[in-house]
Chain A
Amino acid sequence: AQSVTQLDSQVPVFEEAPVELRCNYSSSVSVYLFWYVQYPNQGLQLLLKYLSGSTLVKSINGFEAEFNKSQTSFHLRKPSVHISDTAEYFCAVSGSNTGKLIFGQGTTLQVKP
């Protein structure tokens, strides 16, 4: 069975400060890893993904995540956050042929001015 643990339920941070949202997973098989972002009353938007290859993946809006197989982690980072980054962030793992996603509980990123 697979599971995902997001270690922080809420992360408050000031605008232009760096941030890290932590994600650990467990799986007995090779996995694909994803970060999704959700704004209030909206669906989920794919932020970035690790499928294979380079362990450091980047999004177009400055987020990056690093796949660490030995530590079973996929932490999300951004060097300088904006007010508009305020949202709920979900880490997810997919390891089956079905593409079914297992999500963490989510981390609320609150960016303060």
Chain B
Amino acid sequence: DTGVSQNPRHKITKRGQNVTFRCDPISEHNRLYWYRQTLGQGPEFLTYFQNEAQLEKSRLLSDRFSAERPKGSFSTLEIQRTEQGDSAMYLCASSFGTGLPEAFFGQGTRLTVV
């Protein structure tokens, strides 16, 4: 297993377009997290899945954002009607969960909205 994989690594889109990012977690991990990181800041929690169930969403996750994790494997994060303020690095992480809480991160997807 090569770790958490995110695609694409970079995305440039025009304001108003929809974008979708994919995350493939470490295969044995049942928890999956999405974070957003803007320049010069620490990552901020967006949402988390336990298997296929989305159990928590941050207030940062507006109605334009939606995340899914069908079958409890890979996850997608979609942003509709992108705005310039959505420009950020989107990070995915996965973990075993209770008892082994450390999370392992992917390389991230850098979104630039022009």
Residues of chain A touching chain B, judged by Cβ–Cβ distance below 8 Å, are 4, 32, 34, 36, 41-46, 49, 51, 90, 92, 94, 97-106
Assess whether A43 is in contact with B48, with CB atoms less than 8 Å apart: no
Assess whether B98 is in contact with A97, with CB atoms less than 8 Å apart: yes
Assess whether B43 is in contact with A90, with CB atoms less than 8 Å apart: yes
> A97 vs B60: C-alpha distance in the bound complex, in angstroms?
20
Assess whether A32 is in contact with B101, with CB atoms less than 8 Å apart: yes
Quick one: closest B residue to A9, CB to CB?
Answer: B40
Q: Which of B94-114 contact A (CB under 8 A)?
A: 95, 97-98, 101-108, 110
Quick one: closest B residue to A100, CB to CB?
Answer: B45
Minimum CB–CB distance from B75 to chain A (whole Å) comes to: 15
Assess whether B91 is in contact with A44, with CB atoms less than 8 Å apart: yes
Assess whether A43 is in contact with B106, with CB atoms less than 8 Å apart: yes
Assess whether B105 is in contact with A103, with CB atoms less than 8 Å apart: no
Q: Is the interface of B mostly helix, strand, loop or mixed?
A: strand
Q: Is B31 an interface residue (CB 8 A)?
A: yes
| Residue of A36, A49, A90, A101 touching B45 (CB-CB under 8 A) | A101
Quick one: closest A residue to B3, CB to CB?
Answer: A43
Interface size on B, residues (CB 8 A): 28
> A42 vs B107: C-alpha distance in the bound complex, in angstroms?
5
Minimum CB–CB distance from B68 to chain A (whole Å) comes to: 18
- B1-43: contact bitstring with A at CB < 8 Å (1 yes, 0 no)? 0001010000000000000000000000001010100001111
> A100 vs B108: C-alpha distance in the bound complex, in angstroms?
17
| Residue of A41, A99, A105, A106 touching B31 (CB-CB under 8 A) | A99
- Please name all residues of chain B whose beta carbon is closer than 8 Å to the beta carbon of A104 when the two chains form the complex: 42
Assess whether B95 is in contact with A99, with CB atoms less than 8 Å apart: yes
Quick one: closest B residue to A48, CB to CB?
Answer: B102
> A106 vs B33: C-alpha distance in the bound complex, in angstroms?
20
